[in-house]
Amino acid sequence: MTPGARVQAAIELLDQIIAAAHEGGAAADTIVQRYFATRRYAGSKDRRAVRELVFAAIRACGEAPATGRAALLLLARDDNALAAAFDGSAHGPAPIAEDEPVAVAGSAPAWLVERMHAADLNDTEIAALIARAPLDVRVNRLVTTVEAIEAEIPGAAHIEGLPDALRLPAGSDVAPFAGRIEVQDAGSQIVSAATRAEPGMTVIDLCAGAGGKTLALAAAMQNTGRIIAADTDRARLGKLKPRADAAEVTIAEPVLLDPGREFEALTEWRGAADVVLIDAPCSGTGTWRRNPEARWRLTPDRLARLVETQRRLLQVGAGLVKPDGALVYVVCSLLDEEGAEQIDAFRARHPRWHAAPLVLPAGRARGAGVRLTPAHDDTDGFFVARLSAPC
């Protein structure tokens, strides 16, 4: 592909990604994969170059741009080679016209920047949310050792405070290690540790999704005890069994829930769980490093609905914890209404529950919990709190 053809491909992809953000369509990564699946003429270098251009444009635009062309024109202002690729060639974009609309640079939509400032995040910390993320993995201690994986992957480095974690060089091929390692951000591993899961426990992973934290819990429990992996998303939950089989995890029991009627399917475990983990649906503001276009999808109305869902799931989870057990609440968000304020509201409704102290290898206190941020902790953004049930 010529430089112009690469830029035109990026424009087409950005147009699709912008439309998907407005309409609740596929994620950017999925759109890119689909695009090149029908364009076999594009070589690996072309695909990589176009993808990097697309995601550079996404990260540069705080608000969703009007068009893909406007997004790339923002980058072209500071990149003469990119500007020259707007050459009007057969497969390239039209030349740049005077006074042509250009996207506005920024870290996030203005209303979200305001909310983050209210949560005591400065502009540098907000900008760090859209930096490139590292490649972190959790080594599955059930089938291998950190030393064995470290010896097989050049450049693998330990992550301080996480004995099962390694940070791999960008682009490392992890496919051959299925079952032996799981791609999992260091922050996700840290908040999983807040459960203090031990062998023999009964643990409920209330929003298990595809099972990333379920598998981490199973390893911590030495594959002894019982984990109820529950979720309302059949497709995501369906991914757990093959992952568990590869990881040689036998204690995870998938349970499909009906949205809004979660407790009905879990009555067998009412007041029986040593720990309930609620990795709640959230805005995902802490994961923009991996999904930067997600900040274009969020609206105040959607945020309000998520906050209500989190409130309801906390109620469900509280009913499943045995006396003196623990409820661990996690969101990959840095907004206080989803984190510290959500826990304050729960404690106001349930004054006999108290916030347990958390000793974690990273993070800073935020309200009754701990907050991790990319800028301070070099992890995705999370809020986690541990609540102890009354005896």
306, 332 in Cβ contact below 8 A? no
In 3D space, the residue among 372, 390, 367, 368 whose CA is nearest the CA of residue 382 turns out to be 372
Rg, C-alpha atoms of the chain:
22
Give the helix ranges, DSSP H, for the chain. Answer: 3-23, 28-37, 44-60, 68-76, 80-84, 110-118, 123-127, 146-152, 186-193, 212-220, 234-237, 240-246, 262-265, 294-297, 300-318, 340-349, 374-377
What is the Cα–Cα distance from 259 to 253, expressed in whole angstroms? 19
Catalytic, 332? Answer yes
In 3D space, the residue among 262, 305, 268 whose CA is nearest the CA of residue 283 turns out to be 305
Give CA 24 to chain center in angstroms.
17
Give CA 354 to chain center in angstroms.
28
Token pair of 219 as six digits: 């390893």
In 3D space, the residue among 382, 339, 334 whose CA is nearest the CA of residue 107 turns out to be 334
Which residues contact residue 147 at a Cβ distance below 8 angstroms, ignoring those fewer than 6 apart?
A: none
Kindly name the residue from 61, 207, 282, 332 that is annotated as catalytic: 332
Q: Within the chain, how many helices (H) and strands (E) appear?
A: 17, 13
DSSP 299-332: -HHHHHHHHHHHHHHHHHHHTTEEEEEEEEEEES
* 75-82: long-range pairs with CB below 8 Å, 24+: 77/102, 81/3, 82/7, 82/53
61, 106 in Cβ contact below 8 A? yes
Which are the catalytic amino acids? Answer: 332
